[in-house]
A and B are shown apart, each in its own frame.
Chain A
Amino acid sequence: MSASMDTTGDQDVDTIIRDLQADPANLTRPIKTVKDKYELLPAFLKMRGLVRQHIDSFNYLVNEEMKKIIHAKSNEKVQCDSDPNFYLKFLDIHVGKPSTNEEFSTLDLTPQQCRLRDMTYAAPITVDVEYTRGKEIVTRRSKDGVGGILIGRMPIMLRSSHCVLAGKDEAQLARLGECPLDPGGYFVVKGTEKVILIQEQITKNRIIIDIGFKGEPQASVTSSTTERKTQTNVVVKQGKIYLRFNTFSEDIPIMIVLKAMGAESDQEVMELIGTNGNYINLFAPSIQECCNMSVFTQHQALEYMGSKVKATRQTWIKVKKSKSDEVRDILTNSVLAHVTTRNYDFRAKIYYVSVMIRRLLQAVEDPTQLDDKDYYGNKRLELSGGLLSLLFEDLFKRLCADLKKQADLAFSKANRATQFDIVKCIRQDTITTGLEHAISSGNWTVKRFRMDRKGMTQVLSRLSFIASLGMMTRIISQFEKTRKVSGPRALQPSQWGMLCPSDTPEGEACGLVKNLSLMTHVTTDDDEAPLARLAFALGVEPLHMIMSSELHNGGSDIVFLNGHIIGVHFNAHKFAQTIRLMRRAGRIGCYVSVHVEHGRCHLSSDGGRLCRPLLIADKGHLRINDVHIQQLKDGHRTFEDFLCEGLIEYLDVNEENNCMIALHEKDANETVTHIEIEPFTLLGVVAGLIPYPHHNQSPRNTYQCAMGKQAMGNIAYNQLNRMDTLLYLLVYPQRPLCQTKTIELVGYHKLGAGQNATVAVISFSGYDIEDAIVMNKSSLDRGFGRCIVIRKYSTAFKKYPNRTADRCVSAAARRSVPVRGNKTLLENDGIAGVGEIIRPGDIYVNKESPLNTRDPIQNPNMLPDSCYKPSPQVYKGPPGEEAVVDKVLLTSSDDQHFVVKTLVRHTRRPELGDKFSSRHGQKGVVGTIVRQEDYPFNDQGICPDLIMNPHGFPSRMTVGKMIELLAGKRTARRAAAPAAFPEAPVEDAQKTCSGGLSLWGACGAVWVWDCIRGNESGGMW
Chain B
Amino acid sequence: MGSETKLPPHLEEQRTRIFCGKDAPTHARSNNFSGAYRSLGEDHSFDNASFKENFRIDIKRMDSEVMEFDMIGVDASIANAFRRILIADVPTMAIEKVFIANNSSIMQDEVLAHRLGLIPLRVDAKKFDYRTEDEAATEQNTIVFRLKMKCSRLADGRLENDAVLSEHLEWLPAGSELPEDSDSKFTHYNRDQSEFYGEPIACADDKIVINKMRPGQEIELEAHAVKGEGKTHAKWSPVATAFYRLLPEVTLKQEITGEEAHALKKKCPKDVFDIEDIGGTTKATVVNARACTICRECIREPGAENFVDLKRVKDHFIFTIESAGQYHPRELFIDAIGKLRLKCQKMIQLTH
Contact = CB atoms under 8 A, between A and B. Distances in A.
Interface of A: 720, 731, 777-779, 781-783, 786, 788, 835, 884, 886, 905, 907, 931-933, 937, 939, 941, 943, 994-1001, 1005, 1007, 1009, 1011-1018
A783 B25 CA distance: 35
B320 A933 contact: no
Nearest to B81: A1014
Contacts of B270: 995-996
B77 A943 contact: no
A50 B28 CA distance: 56
Interface centre among B77, B88, B243 (most CB of A within 10 A): B243
A933 B83 contact: yes
Interface string B291-302: 001111100100
B231 A997 contact: no
B241 A1015 contact: no
B24 A1018 contact: yes
B103 A1017 contact: no
Contacts, number: 108
Given A720-B106, A788-B108, A1016-B25, A782 B241 contact: no
Contact of A933 (B84, B106, B322): B84
Nearest to A909: B114
Given A778-B237, A782-B118, A932-B237, A1014 B111 contact: no
B111 A731 contact: yes
Given A932-B237, A994-B269, 12 more contacts: A779-B234, A781-B235, A835-B109, A884-B110, A939-B294, A997-B295, A999-B300, A1000-B300, A1007-B294, A1011-B83, A1014-B77, A1016-B28
B246 interface: yes
Given A781-B235, A788-B108, A997 B293 contact: yes
Closest 8 CB pairs of A and B: A1014-B80, A781-B234, A941-B243, A1014-B76, A778-B234, A1001-B295, A933-B84, A907-B110
Interface of B: 18, 23-25, 28-30, 76-77, 79-81, 83-84, 87-88, 100, 103, 106, 108-111, 114, 118, 230-231, 233-235, 237, 241-243, 245-246, 269-270, 293-297, 300, 312, 320, 322
Report whether over half of chain A's contact residues are helix, strand or loop; otherwise say mixed. Answer: loop
19 contacts: A779-B234, A783-B118, A931-B231, A933-B88, A933-B230, A937-B241, A941-B242, A994-B269, A997-B293, A998-B297, A999-B295, A1000-B295, A1007-B245, A1011-B80, A1011-B83, A1014-B76, A1014-B77, A1015-B76, A1018-B25
Contacts of A731: 111, 114
A997 B234 contact: no
A905 B111 CA distance: 12
Nearest to A783: B114
Given A933-B88, A998-B295, A941 B320 contact: yes
A931 B106 CA distance: 32
Contacts of A1009: 243
A619 to B, nearest CB: 47
Contacts of B245: 939, 1007
Contacts of A779: 234
Contacts of A943: 241
A939 B296 CA distance: 14
A999 B100 CA distance: 51
A998 to B, nearest CB: 5
B310 to A, nearest CB: 11
A782 B295 contact: no
B75 to A, nearest CB: 8
Nearest to B77: A1014
A886 to B, nearest CB: 8
Contacts of A788: 108, 111
A291 to B, nearest CB: 87
A997 B234 CA distance: 29
Nearest to B312: A1016
B238 to A, nearest CB: 13
A941 B241 contact: yes
A999 B301 CA distance: 12
B202 to A, nearest CB: 22
B295 A907 contact: no
Nearest to B85: A933
Contacts of B28: 1015-1017
A343 B224 CA distance: 94
A995 B297 CA distance: 11
Given A997-B293, A1013-B76, A937 B88 contact: no
Contacts of A1000: 295-297, 300
Given A720-B106, A933-B231, A939-B245, A835 B100 contact: yes
